[in-house]
Chains A and B, each alone.
Chain A
Amino acid sequence: MKHRSKTIAIIFAILLAIVPVASFIMPDMATSTVERRPLAQWMSLGEFQKENVSSRLSDYFASIEDYLLDQFPLRDKIRSISALSRRYLLLQLDHNQYFKVKGHLGKLDFNYREKAAINAINLFNRVYTDHFSGGKGKHLFALIPDKNHYMTRDSVYPAVETELFMKTLREHMNLSVDKVSLDKELSLDFYYRTDPHWNQQHLRPIADALLSNLNHRIRVSDLPFEKLSLGTFLGTYAGQAALPIKPDEFIYLNHPSIERARVYDPIKKDESSVYRFDKRDSIDPYDFFLGGARPIFLIRNGQAEGERKLVVFRDSFGSSLVPLLIPAYGEILVVDLRYVRAEAIKDELHSFFDADVLFLYSTTVLNAPGAFPIS
């Protein structure tokens, strides 16, 4: 009894002591690369009160708890223990709502939020009516299914049916805009295993489908694109899920017209390249494509055949797809309506009145309440 008690007491003491000692020895981390977020840092009470003027003492104590959790020694490895024990000990089908099926990581979302979708569509209608109605170009809405659409087929996992979005689009989107769902053209292989986004290396058939619907004669698949690798890529789902998964390979498609094209930002008034090598090591490597989330920019391609112009209203899926359309258009204006009001850029939109218009949105964004301002 004594021996057993001693062993228990010593083991418990070691367990309790190991964390504070390790916390003291190990340096604090600034960011979590797998979770893509800055980690809480130590702050003295004075510093905290300076930053949070009307805060209370209990808020400061709460911030210390956040700091200790964020800077916990070997945090990412310990989170993996949580994920694995839930999966293999409790036989849970998801971890923090993330799940692994068919070699891919996905995030559960089975509630169709029709109000959010209608709100987004009303905004698109207003932008379309105010700026493009009566224009000579071809007008198209292309819907990108969430990867859950493919992951959850023939499985126990629930998901929102893509057809529900198409039904809402048909009922609410302006009749002059053609509506297509890309669900037939896409498959699970088109998406990264560790990220919600699609993988550019597979997108040439998608670009062709869009060009065909825009009545364009160019086919991207016929053009000589070069496949280049930037090494491994762990997407946003990998960090959140903390489940073991083989990393993706970060491959991009290059073409002389993409290399020549220049991206002009009318808000910052600066110019950059299509592929942003400076963003490769940023917190979100997907920002490599056109610099990631930006309200508006203009891509100029002096080498395009003909002088057709295109406006793309898009979410983050557009970042990797739009570069593939560069060989087909002289100018492409890319707008993210989540970050800019159409009224604020009416001059830019006006100069594209007769251009082709493409609304390219994923079901994930349409289904997210608050993604767009209330219209």
Chain B
Amino acid sequence: MTFSSVTFLYFFLPAVLAIYYIVPARLKNAVLLLSSLLFYFWGEPRFAVIMVLTALVGYAGGMLLSKVEKHHWRRVVVVLFVTLCLIPLLLFKYGDFFIHNMRELFKLQLPHLSLALPMGVSFYTFQIVSYVIDVYRQTVDVERNPFLFVMYVSFFPQLIAGPIVRFSDVQVFLRKRITSIDQFAAGVLRFVTGLGKKVLIANTLAEFGKELTSTPAKSVLSLWLIAFAFTLQIYFDFSGYSDMAIGLGSMFGFTFPENFHYPYLSKSVSEFWRRWHISLGFWFRDYVYIPLGGNRGKRLSRVRNLLIVWLLTGLWHGAAWNFIAWGLFYFTVLSIERAGFSKILDKMPSVLRVVYTFLIVMLGFVLFNADSLGEALIRLKGMFGLSSLPFTDHVSLYYARSYGFTLIFAAVAATSLFKTLWKRLSERSSKSTKYVLDYTTVFGVVTTMTLVTAWLVNGSFNPFLYFRF
């Protein structure tokens, strides 16, 4: 079940909201736990067991750490339980990648595991690992109630595509939360915004990309259009999902961390990674980069730390060489920026810096979006006119015209323009104008929900990109 499905929108969500607000406070967590398990069970019943078991391993790790006092033994426990928590992720996500490469490298006759990937395994594993490490570091109190801990891990708004909510972010809300009408309405607005971003914009861009990709006749223009559309699509897809998660959390009285902050307005690639998938960036910073030494130490160790982080970031996104190449690509670009290019950037006009960052990110997504590294390189060659493709073709021009408005709208909507305009209007308006703005908001909710429903019923293209991670 996805948030942008009729089943979720019109059957699961209303039922859960109704029961949640009807039952007394002491039963609310039970409602959330059971509904979260049903949500995951609906997608793939057998993987629900793996998710719960991994959560219980994390819980046990926390409990044990709370009892062990000696530093040496605490280290052993944390390494052991982090390793145990990582096993499902390593097995399901990277098992076949490892076997395939062993077979290729050493001509070994190892059989493939052919395991399906449990939904959201990368997200919930990172949440559990962060909890175990935080308990070890004593930056978070141990959770003694296993049901509450499983509820934290399985809480459906953030379970399958983030943001990566740390235990410390929600520990307070798990025990006590106040749900006000203002917070609920804010949650509705955020959820509907995310839904619109996902269904109306990201899915339309996905259709556009799919049409161009499936056309045998390629041109330089079509390859640039595919890259441009995907760059916008992945933003609206993933940030839309994060908006929905944050909005749903708010409806149930939780406050989740932000995951995106207009990344395509970044003036450098370093800044981009502070605005894109923020919860993942912070995770790698706090649990990999800083423990490795971070920015401290000699130049060579700083480079090594950065390399490890970006290799892991690439691998986190997928068990394939093109994702590793994508990670290495960012390692290279960020190293160049750190080596002094950022100082040159600082002297350039803001517009040029934004364009530079967007171009780099877009080229990175060519690696990310390809089925293999070889295909990515073919596309990149084509984009730069190195593979004797025509500059343009009739089909690309047709699709560029057909989806032109969506592309322009998406590009503008990826900036903060609409938000800034709305904010200024709200601040400067008279009382009567504010009334109009309020009703415009309500009209926006109704219109977005109607359009989303119509598009879903029409059976439009609807996969979440980040489900595969």
Chain A residues with CB under 8 Å of chain B are 1-9, 11-13, 15-17, 19-20, 23, 56-58, 61, 64-65, 68-69, 72, 75, 78-79, 81-83, 85-86, 89-94, 96, 110-111, 156-158, 242
Q: How far is the CB of A28 from chain B (nearest CB, A)?
A: 15
B351-389 interface with A by 8 A CB criterion: none
> In the complex the two chains form, is A81's CB within 8 Å of B450's CB?
yes
List the A residue with the shortest CB-CB distance to B460.
A82
> In the complex the two chains form, is B185's CB within 8 Å of A4's CB?
yes
Determine the chain A residues whose CB is within 8 A of the CB of B14 once the complex forms: 13, 16-17, 20
Complex Cα distance, B7 from A1, in Å, reads: 32
Complex Cα distance, B8 from A64, in Å, reads: 12
> In the complex the two chains form, is A93's CB within 8 Å of B189's CB?
no
Question: Which residue from A2, A4, A6, A90 sits with its C-beta under 8 Å from B204?
Answer: A90
Q: How far is the CB of B234 from chain A (nearest CB, A)?
A: 19
Q: How far is the CB of B263 from chain A (nearest CB, A)?
A: 24
> In the complex the two chains form, is A16's CB within 8 Å of B10's CB?
yes
Q: A58-B43, A90-B405 are in contact. Are A69 and B181 (CB under 8 A)?
A: no
Determine the chain A residues whose CB is within 8 A of the CB of B11 once the complex forms: 20, 68
* Tally of contacts, chain A with chain B, CB under 8 A: 131
Enumerate 25 A-B pairs (CB-CB under 8 Å) in ascending A order. Answer: A2-B181, A5-B184, A8-B441, A11-B442, A11-B446, A19-B6, A19-B10, A19-B453, A20-B11, A58-B43, A65-B7, A72-B6, A78-B458, A79-B458, A82-B460, A83-B458, A90-B406, A92-B405, A93-B401, A110-B215, A110-B394, A110-B398, A156-B401, A157-B398, A158-B394
Q: Can you list, as one digit per residue, whether each of B435-450 has a CB less than 8 Å from chain A (1) or not (0)? A: 0001001100110011
Apart from A58-B45, A79-B457, A89-B451, 15 more pairs, CB < 8 Å: A5-B185, A19-B10, A64-B7, A68-B7, A82-B458, A82-B460, A85-B455, A90-B204, A91-B405, A92-B403, A92-B405, A92-B406, A110-B215, A110-B394, A110-B395
Complex Cα distance, B401 from A86, in Å, reads: 13
Complex Cα distance, B216 from A13, in Å, reads: 47
Determine the chain A residues whose CB is within 8 A of the CB of B409 once the complex forms: 90
Complex Cα distance, B184 from A16, in Å, reads: 14
Complex Cα distance, B435 from A3, in Å, reads: 10
Q: A4-B441, A12-B445 are in contact. Are A20 and B10 (CB under 8 A)?
A: yes
Determine the chain B residues whose CB is within 8 A of the CB of A58 once the complex forms: 42-45
Does B459 sit within 8 A of A, measured CB to CB? yes
Q: A64-B7, A69-B6, A92-B406 are in contact. Are A81 and B454 (CB under 8 A)?
A: yes
Q: A4-B185, A16-B13, A65-B7 are in contact. Are A156 and B398 (CB under 8 A)?
A: yes
> In the complex the two chains form, is A7's CB within 8 Å of B438's CB?
yes
B170-227 interface with A by 8 A CB criterion: 181-182, 184-186, 188-189, 192, 204, 215-217
Determine the chain A residues whose CB is within 8 A of the CB of B184 once the complex forms: 5, 9
> In the complex the two chains form, is A242's CB within 8 Å of B458's CB?
yes
Does B84 sit within 8 A of A, measured CB to CB? no
Complex Cα distance, B460 from A83, in Å, reads: 11
Does B456 sit within 8 A of A, measured CB to CB? yes
> In the complex the two chains form, is B438's CB within 8 Å of A4's CB?
yes
Determine the chain B residues whose CB is within 8 A of the CB of A9 once the complex forms: 181, 184-185, 188
B1-15 interface with A by 8 A CB criterion: 1, 5-7, 9-11, 13-14
> In the complex the two chains form, is B446's CB within 8 Å of A85's CB?
no
Determine the chain A residues whose CB is within 8 A of the CB of B348 once the complex forms: none
Does B390 sit within 8 A of A, measured CB to CB? no
Does B402 sit within 8 A of A, measured CB to CB? yes
Complex Cα distance, B460 from A57, in Å, reads: 24
Determine the chain A residues whose CB is within 8 A of the CB of B397 once the complex forms: 156
Determine the chain A residues whose CB is within 8 A of the CB of B406 once the complex forms: 90, 92
> In the complex the two chains form, is B449's CB within 8 Å of A15's CB?
yes
Does B411 sit within 8 A of A, measured CB to CB? no
> In the complex the two chains form, is B402's CB within 8 Å of A92's CB?
yes
> In the complex the two chains form, is A85's CB within 8 Å of B454's CB?
yes
Q: A6-B181, A111-B216, A242-B458 are in contact. Are A94 and B402 (CB under 8 A)?
A: yes
Complex Cα distance, B445 from A65, in Å, reads: 24
Determine the chain B residues whose CB is within 8 A of the CB of A81 once the complex forms: 450-451, 454
> In the complex the two chains form, is A5's CB within 8 Å of B181's CB?
yes
> In the complex the two chains form, is B402's CB within 8 Å of A57's CB?
no
> In the complex the two chains form, is A96's CB within 8 Å of B458's CB?
yes
Q: A6-B181, A11-B445, A158-B398 are in contact. Are A82 and B9 (CB under 8 A)?
A: no
Complex Cα distance, B182 from A81, in Å, reads: 31
Complex Cα distance, B235 from A212, in Å, reads: 62
Ranked nearest first, the 5 interchain pairs of A and B with the lowest CB-CB distance are A5-B185, A81-B454, A19-B10, A82-B458, A93-B402
Determine the chain B residues whose CB is within 8 A of the CB of A91 once the complex forms: 404-405
Complex Cα distance, B459 from A83, in Å, reads: 12
> In the complex the two chains form, is A57's CB within 8 Å of B395's CB?
no
Determine the chain B residues whose CB is within 8 A of the CB of A68 once the complex forms: 6-7, 10-11
Q: Which among B403, B405, B450, B454 has the highest number of chain A CB atoms within 10 Å?
A: B454
Complex Cα distance, B13 from A28, in Å, reads: 22
Does B425 sit within 8 A of A, measured CB to CB? no
Determine the chain A residues whose CB is within 8 A of the CB of B402 once the complex forms: 92-94
Q: How far is the CB of A8 from chain B (nearest CB, A)?
A: 4
Q: A65-B7, A78-B454 are in contact. Are A16 and B17 (CB under 8 A)?
A: yes
> In the complex the two chains form, is B445's CB within 8 Å of A79's CB?
no
Complex Cα distance, B216 from A79, in Å, reads: 30
B43-102 interface with A by 8 A CB criterion: 43-45
> In the complex the two chains form, is B398's CB within 8 Å of A93's CB?
yes
Complex Cα distance, B21 from A16, in Å, reads: 15
Complex Cα distance, B438 from A5, in Å, reads: 9
> In the complex the two chains form, is B9's CB within 8 Å of A16's CB?
yes
Q: How far is the CB of A93 from chain B (nearest CB, A)?
A: 4
> In the complex the two chains form, is B182's CB within 8 Å of A75's CB?
no
Q: A16-B14, A85-B451, A158-B394 are in contact. Are A8 and B6 (CB under 8 A)?
A: no
> In the complex the two chains form, is A65's CB within 8 Å of B5's CB?
yes
> In the complex the two chains form, is A2's CB within 8 Å of B455's CB?
no
Q: Which among A9, A16, A79, A94 has the highest number of chain B CB atoms within 10 Å?
A: A16
Complex Cα distance, B14 from A286, in Å, reads: 44
Complex Cα distance, B185 from A7, in Å, reads: 9
Determine the chain B residues whose CB is within 8 A of the CB of A15 once the complex forms: 445-446, 449
Q: Can you list, as one digit per residue, whether each of B397-425 has a CB less than 8 Å from chain A (1) or not (0)? A: 11001111110010000000000000000
Complex Cα distance, B459 from A11, in Å, reads: 25
Determine the chain A residues whose CB is within 8 A of the CB of B404 once the complex forms: 91
Q: A93-B401, A111-B215 are in contact. Are A69 and B442 (CB under 8 A)?
A: no
Q: A16-B17, A64-B7 are in contact. Are A79 and B441 (CB under 8 A)?
A: no
> In the complex the two chains form, is A82's CB within 8 Å of B454's CB?
yes
> In the complex the two chains form, is A65's CB within 8 Å of B6's CB?
yes
Complex Cα distance, B41 from A57, in Å, reads: 9
Q: How far is the CB of B445 from chain A (nearest CB, A)?
A: 6
Determine the chain A residues whose CB is within 8 A of the CB of B5 once the complex forms: 65
Complex Cα distance, B446 from A89, in Å, reads: 16
Complex Cα distance, B403 from A57, in Å, reads: 39
Determine the chain B residues whose CB is within 8 A of the CB of A90 once the complex forms: 204, 403, 405-406, 409
